[in-house]
Amino acid sequence: MKKIIAFVAILLLMGSSNSVFAQQEKFTDVSSTNQFYEHIYYLYEQNVINGKGPNTFAPKNNVTRGEAALMLARALKLDTAKRDTVFNDVSSQSVSSGAIQSAYDAGIINGYTKTTFGIDDPIKRGDMASLLARAFKLVDEEVIPFEDVAISSSAYSSIRKVYAAGIAGGFSPVKFEVNKPVTREQFSAFLARALNDDLRLPVNKCGYDTQSRVNPDRQTMNCLLTDAARDANIPPEIVKAAATIESGWVHFQSNGEPIMNRDIDGDGKGDGGIGLMQITNNPKYDDTKLKYDLKYNIKAGIEILQEKFKLDLPKVGSHNPTDLESWYFALLAYNGAKAVNSPLYSATGLRNYTAYQEKVYKALDDYGLVKTNIGSIDMQSADFTYNEATDYRIVFNKKNFTLTGKVPTPSKELLKEGAKVKYNSGKMRTQPSTQSADISIPNNAVFTIVADPVSDRNATAKNNFIWYPAQTEVNGKKVSGYIASYLILP
């Protein structure tokens, strides 16, 4: 904005008759004190919007569905030439007709019915969210604080997306007002933010301020770990269990400094690990950011785990990254392919339950309530060699292992919106918490996931699992609520 003002001053001094200032004063009813002034004139300069008259914008007027389609089509550079549409109530001579048909063809807008669009009806805030989420292919979702946005709302997921993108906030801190009409100035703000990152609202992922240098509460940490793992398409269950062993989900000390050099192996000495994921000796990463940027530390840990997964290490089954057992040897390598982490004791052939990877899977069971089949991996002591000659580093004599008599355990925390799942419980929850009221449902009911998962609303809850907003049908009626990830059937 400062650059625009400086440019205006230069043009005025030059005596230009076509100054930016003249454009910015185009609308006599949009003063510089209007909170959406910058957004409106940004769109005007991009030829996305026009006024309602020669010198007026009518910022407080409701924007119609036809106007919204036209503004959006211009923003996306779709064909706006007047023409016939699939909707009976949209005349081919309407200024919005071409925009409506182009947006419909692109899968961005829908009508009330297959033949009715409601061109002159005000667009509502919920519809606006759905429109922009589809138009800009928004994917990331954020937990929303709005008590008036029900899971059953068709705009529920879209509202979470525009909120996460910094495109729209609430009408108040706790209300979104899904059915409230959108004014022309408000729609201008939403559209300008979607087009220009510099105009977007600030958003703290999972509500956590990365500059705070304090540990988030447990369920905020659950959210941060889950979201980062889902973004990387690695099972969140694995990442969260590894973080449990590495740091107990703690990154900062009380003085704002990161925890360092934890003794993970129990050998009485640490290895210089940094923070939550205890990253060590890796020139690929910035040590300062590893120490003071929690999200960066999580991302680094996930990337290192993924690198280990791709190494020439033994593989379990088909080595499908969405199967929890497939990460057994990558986890071993994350801590180090050293004697202390040998899956079996060489002298006895017994299982080494103190190995790092074994402790990770135990944490997955204890806190995520997920039992895997790692006990069925067909390993023998001859499959691993470690001794003085190998400097007590593990040599893998076998590269492919199977699960004897068992099948892999797929991740339950990578499910996407629209997935259909069976649920092993006779109840769902009204809120994402084991302490909330429940809703009776048939055993093994089929649910549709309607949005990204959320962590427990009880900030101090010890569980590592997550909750999916979901919908099922009971006695012919749709019922919405939350289902726990660990109770979803394979």
Model confidence band, residue 74 (pLDDT cutoffs 50, 70, 90):
very high
- Rounded to whole angstroms, the maximal C-alpha distance in the chain is 92
Tokens (6 digits) for 414: 């990578």
Q: What's the pLDDT band for 264 if we cut at 50, 70, 90?
A: low
Distances (CA, A) of 42 to 33, 47, 129, 263, 367: 15, 9, 20, 55, 50
Which one has a higher pLDDT value, 450 or 265? Answer: 450
Q: Using CA atoms, how far apart are residues 209 and 359, in angstroms rounded to an integer?
A: 31
Q: Phi then psi for 286, rounded to 5 degrees?
A: -80, 115
Interstrand relation of 400-401 and 315-316 (parallel, antiparallel or unpaired):
parallel
379 CB burial (10 A radius; 0-12, 13-18, 19+): buried
The Cα–Cα gap between 297 and 133 comes to: 30
Q: Which of 81-95, 213-227, 258-272, 450-464 shows the lowest per-residue confidence on average (mean pLDDT)? A: 258-272
* Whether residue 396 has pLDDT greater than 70: yes
Q: Decide which of 10 and 255 is more confident.
A: 255
Strands (E) located in 248-352:
315-316
> What pLDDT sits at residue 17?
33
Q: How far apart are CA 270 and CA 267, in angstroms?
A: 8
Q: What is the pTM of this model?
A: 0.87
Q: Which has the closest alpha carbon to 217: 230, 229, 227, 207? A: 207
Beta-carbon count within 10 A of 34 CB: 16
Taking alpha carbons only, the member of 300, 298, 204 closest to residue 251 is: 298
H or E, element range at 195: helix 184-195
Per-residue pLDDT tens over the stretch 80-116 = 999 999 999 999 999 999 999 999 999 999 999 999 9
- State residue 13's pLDDT score: 32
Asked if residue 25 has pLDDT above 80, the reply is: no
Q: Does residue 449 register a pLDDT over 80?
A: yes
pLDDT tens readout for residues 295-320: 999 999 999 999 999 999 999 999 99
| pLDDT at residue 54, rounded to an integer | 84
Q: Number of helices and strands (H, E) in the chain?
A: 14, 10
Q: Is the pLDDT of residue 391 over 80?
A: no
Positive or negative, the CA dihedral 301, 307, 311, 315 is positive
Which three-class secondary structure state does DSSP give residue 403? strand
Residues in the chain: 490
Q: How confident is the model at residue 485 (pLDDT cuts 50, 70, 90)?
A: very high
Q: What is the mean pLDDT of the chain?
A: 91
Of 124, 168, 123, the residue nearest 142 (C-alpha) = 168
The token pair at 119 is 């061109």
Six-digit token pair at 351?
Answer: 């299982």
pLDDT of the residue at 242: 98
Taking the C-alpha atoms of residue 311 and residue 329, their distance in angstroms, rounded to an integer, is 10
Q: Report yes or no: 249 and 265 within 8 Å, Cβ to Cβ.
A: no
Measured distance CA(205)–CA(203) in Å, rounded: 6
Residues 456, 459: Cα–Cα separation, whole Å: 7
